């Protein structure tokens, strides 16, 4: 008697669990291959369900990509900011933070960020999330720097020496640039040394004295 075999049907899950499995699969896929790899078919294959089921839970792929992006980068931000140690000085904290973000083990998140800037130009849902996450990173760094200034008597007596707002912007620009460069293996010989030099440039800005008017020539 001839028999035929069928592929096993996906196990039926409660809606909440199925939705979670789809999101988790998309996050995993983006971490491995970037945001560009997120398609209905690719996510469905990762979960082991039909594309129609993925589309049922996430009918607008552009919004789903934005959601996955936020999940990945927000988790990293929360982790890195939580590592701030109030028992050590500002320079040490910021250097640790920079070295953590530039570690090769985080190239997957760097890829997500780099692709988000390009894809966000045409995907407005993603572009809006990118802007929000960049603002949150800036605010978090600005808050850490301002808090350190308030707690350090030397910095507190010279508030013009370190500006939390511009310092946060410069540090983020350096990290973003170096992370993007590392994806194509174009990096300085010693990224840690460059990080220290940049940090010194940011934190050791001399106080600008008002310019005295030149004496009138007679």
Same domain for 110 and 42, yes or no, is no
Buried b (16+ CB within 10 A) or exposed e, 34-54: bbeebebebbbebbebeeebb
Q: Structure tokens of 175?
A: 């990290």
CA-based angle 95:101:105, to the nearest 5?
130
pLDDT above 50: residue 61: yes
**What would the pLDDT profile of 73-106 be if each residue is shown by its tens digit?**
999 999 999 999 988 988 899 999 999 999 889 9
Domain co-membership, 155 together with 89: yes
User: In this predicted model, which residue has the larger pLDDT, 17 or 11?
Assistant: 17
Q: Is residue 102 part of a domain?
A: yes
Please tell me whether residues 164 and 85 are part of one structural domain.
Answer: yes
DSSP conformational letter for 103: S
157 and 182 both lie in a single domain:
yes
- Does residue 209 fall inside a structural domain? no
Q: Tell me how many domains the chain contains.
A: 2
pLDDT score at 72: 98
| Residue burial 65-88, b: 16+ Cβ < 10 Å; e: rest | bbbbbbebbeebbeebeeebeeee
Residues 98 and 28 in one domain: no
- Per-residue pLDDT reduced to its tens digit, 30-51: 999 999 999 999 999 999 999 9
- What confidence category does residue 217 fall into, taking pLDDT thresholds of 50, 70 and 90? very low
Assigned domain for 19 exists: yes
Whether 182 is covered by a domain: the verdict is: yes
**Same structural domain for residues 120 and 183?**
yes
**Do 46 and 112 fall into the same domain?**
no
Tell whether 218 is covered by a domain. Answer: no
Residue 201's pLDDT band (boundaries 50, 70, 90)?
A: confident
Angle CA 188–191–195, to nearest 5: 125
Residue 213 lies in a domain: no
Question: Which structural domain, as residue segments, surrounds residue 80?
Answer: 61-203
Encoding tokens for residue 115? 């692709």
Please say whether the beta carbons of 23 and 68 come within 8 A. yes
User: Is residue 75 domain-shared with residue 24, that is, in the same domain?
Assistant: no
Asked if residue 71 and residue 30 are part of one domain, the reply reads no
Specify if 4 maps to a domain.
Answer: no
Q: Establish if 6 belongs to a structural domain.
A: no
Q: Do both 49 and 71 map to the same domain?
A: no
- 190 CB-side CA count, 13 A: 6
pLDDT exceeds 50 at position 218: no
CATH code of 50's domain: 1.10.10.60
Looking at the structure, do residues 98 and 169 belong to the same domain, yes or no? Answer: yes
**Looking at residue 124, which CATH number applies to its domain?**
1.10.357.10
pLDDT at 214 over 60: no
Q: Are residues 98 and 198 in the same domain?
A: yes
């Amino acid at each position: 008697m001839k028999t035929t075999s069928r592929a096993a049907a996906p196990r039926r899950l409660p809606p909440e669990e199925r939705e979670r499995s789809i999101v988790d699969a998309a996050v995993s896929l983006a971490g491995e291959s970037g945001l560009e790899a997120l398609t209905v078919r690719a996510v469905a294959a990762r979960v082991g369900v039909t594309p129609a089921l993925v589309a049922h839970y996430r009918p607008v792929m552009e919004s789903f990509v934005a959601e996955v992006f936020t999940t990945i980068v927000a988790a990293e931000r929360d982790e890195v900011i939580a590592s701030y140690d109030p028992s050590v000085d500002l320079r040490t904290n910021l250097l640790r933070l920079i070295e953590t973000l530039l570690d090769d083990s985080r190239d997957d998140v760097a890829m997500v960020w780099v692709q988000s800037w390009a894809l966000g130009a045409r995907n407005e849902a993603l572009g809006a999330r990118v802007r929000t996450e960049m603002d949150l990173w800036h605010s978090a760094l600005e808050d850490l720097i301002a808090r350190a200034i308030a707690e350090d008597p030397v910095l507190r007596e010279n508030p013009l020496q370190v500006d939390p707002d511009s310092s946060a912007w410069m540090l983020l620009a350096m990290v973003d640039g170096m992370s993007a460069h590392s994806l194509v293996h174009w990096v300085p010989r010693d990224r840690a040394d460059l990080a220290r030099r940049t940090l010194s440039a940011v934190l050791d800005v001399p106080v600008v004295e008002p310019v005295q008017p030149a004496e009138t020539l007679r």
